Amino acid sequence: MTTPTYITTPLYYVNGDPHIGHAYTTVVADFLARFHRLAGDDTFFLTGTDEHGEKIFQAAQTAGMETGAYVDSVAAKFADAWKTLLVTNDDFIRTTEARHTQIVRQVLQSVYDQGDIYYDEYEGAYCVGCERFLTDRDLVDGKCPDHNAVPETRREGNYFFRMEKHREWLRQHIQQTPEFIRPEGYANEVLSILSEPIGDLSISRPRQRVPWGIGLPWDDDHVTYVWFDALLNYVSALGYPDGERYTHYWESARHLIGKDILKTHAIFWPTMLRAMGAPIYAGLNVGGYLMGSDGQKMSKTLGNVVDPFVLAERYSPDAVRYYLIKDVPYGQDSSVGEKALVDRHNADLANDLGNLVSRVRALLLRHTDGKLPVPVATPTEDEIIAQGTQLKEKVTELITNLKFWSALEEVMQFVRRLNRYFNDEEPWKLAKAEDGAERLGTVLYTCVEGLRIVSILLEPALPMKVRELRHSLALPDGDLSAAGQWGLAPSGEQIPAEAQSLFPKAEVPEAEISAADDPSGGQDGGANQAPKASGKKKGPKKPDAEPAEDVEQISIDEFFRVQMKVAQVTSAEAVPKTDKLLKITLRVGEQERTVVSGIAQFYDPADLPGRRVVVVTNLKPAKLRGIISEGMILAAEDADGNLALVEPDKQLPSGATVR
């Protein structure tokens, strides 16, 4: 029997167009929904738009539009935006729909009739941006911290919901249910709020001031306040109180939100549900803020706004999805930028995954007539098989614990292991050996079968590209259980002769590259420089291009200013919080020095000690990720972006000069 799973995004406020914050939460929710479907869970995924309130009424007036026409136009933009990012929501609810407004009026009347809503006059600090009164505790230096604005002082008569009466119940529920609010830090934040009186909640506005809203069923001179309207979408979309979807899905509900609406979802919403006599949702998953690549809040004035829909058109929807899931640890504040997206795309998708697929396909077409071989496994494959079949459980555990970025990294570590296996076995040499055919077939099959597992586990993040991957290698689709099995790639199946490059190497338009995107100050160990471009449309990188005639020439004296020496690696380790950099200790003659090098995607640190490399020794030291780097290790790059260390072909002593 399948497990019901109900996943929701917040309802997005239609006082502006969709932006990167909306996209992030929606992509993560879609990633979760796709993963649950892959696991066989009975999944329902909801998103939609919040279309009532003072800000929307004002936005429509500013746009010179009738309010209904305005919300129709903006809601359509949200629906189209999610199609662009390959989002697979099962429903899209709008708070102006009759199925919602009827439930809102029904709930309001019920809670009013039981005495949990009352009328009172109130004077306080009102933030138009938040559409609510703020307490002194909410303010920072007298301002709303979310909108950096001094609130208005307002006095008016409103209806109030008796929220304070549920405070102790909610505090105990959170303490007794560790998974109710995640990550844990946000639960602690809510418990801190609940340690003191929270007061009652204003739930209406005078219609003469805010004419755009749902009228209170017992007093049409007032419209309901945004939270007693918008929050009810989560149940109205399911047919509350007795619809089949509601009874089937509701108690499995997991809301995904940004931390800016934590209080409303963690305090207002549960207390409303309790007053309604409805079960409480299963959990609240809270994401952090997204900031510009300069670490500041995004703004058009600062020029650090990231438009996910422009990036989806420029690179691909899958590239945007993968970047947002992989580079934004869920629950934490994170900086995002186009250069970082391109770096992630090139490192993980183009270099590691796409390049492996391309190399395996080329050998299959050239040496097996394009047919998947029959493997004859040896102990060499045992580690690969074990790692591949165990991957599903590791990924499932990480996703269950909201470690989405770690789940993707776990899969990419396996891709890198397949690359090392491919390089170590040297199938291009096996193809030339008289007795190499059987071994060649085994190596190629092992890579293809590993890629089959990878394609399943990456499908929630890369739904379009993994289908292309499977087509290019004649692989079947599969659910999550198929990712835990080895040997399902169909031997004898013919791969297509032609297939598009999965992930052409991307480049950032020159105008998009800023100092804020390059915290290393330009020195990165010589192996992870950002690709540069003229701003033209992106495409596959052209190999072996002729040097431009206007390349600046240098004299022999200038060349000899660069001091290069042979060095021996004595130790190497990964740099924390990055999958690109290694901290490498070198012996250069009698000297020991530390270099930070961007070769982590291509070399296992355990394989480096003892190797001799070429290092530039007279570069000014640079601080990278808190480590002083005292030089640059030389590496060559091919047309596909693969790096290879420059090494002497004879056993020269450490410290030998390179000329």
Active site residues: 19, 22, 127, 130, 144, 147, 297, 300
DSSP state of 553: P
Residue in the block written with tokens 């935006």 = 81
Residue in the block written with tokens 């004035």 = 301
* 312: Cβ contacts below 8 Å, ≥ 6 apart: 84, 85, 319, 320
What single string gives the DSSP state of each residue in 55-105? HHHHHHHHHTS-HHHHHHHHHHHHHHHHHHTT---SEEEETTSHHHHHHHH
Lay out the sheet containing 152-161: strands in order across. Answer: 132-134, 117-127, 152-161, 201-202
Q: Which helix (H) or strand (E) holds 659?
A: none
DSSP state of 565: E
Residue 91 burial (CB count, 10 A)? 14
The candidate with the shortest Cα–Cα distance to 52, out of 101, 120, 3, is: 101
Question: Cβ distance 155 to 162 under 8 Å?
Answer: no
What single string gives the DSSP state of each residue in 510-535? GGG--GGG-TTTT-STTS-PPPEE-S
DSSP state of 243: -
Question: Cβ distance 207 to 221 under 8 Å?
Answer: yes
* 137: Cβ contacts below 8 Å, ≥ 6 apart: 196
- Let me know the angle formed at the C-alpha of 147 by 142 and 153, rounded to the nearest 5 degrees: 50
Question: Cβ distance 96 to 212 under 8 Å?
Answer: no
Residue 392 burial (CB count, 10 A)? 19
DSSP state of 140: B
The whole-angstrom separation of Cα 410 and Cα 387 is: 10
Helix boundaries (H) for 459-583: 463-472, 556-560
* 399: Cβ contacts below 8 Å, ≥ 6 apart: 32, 35, 407
The whole-angstrom separation of Cα 12 and Cα 67 is: 16
Residue in the block written with tokens 């609940």 = 194
Question: Cβ distance 214 to 101 under 8 Å?
Answer: yes
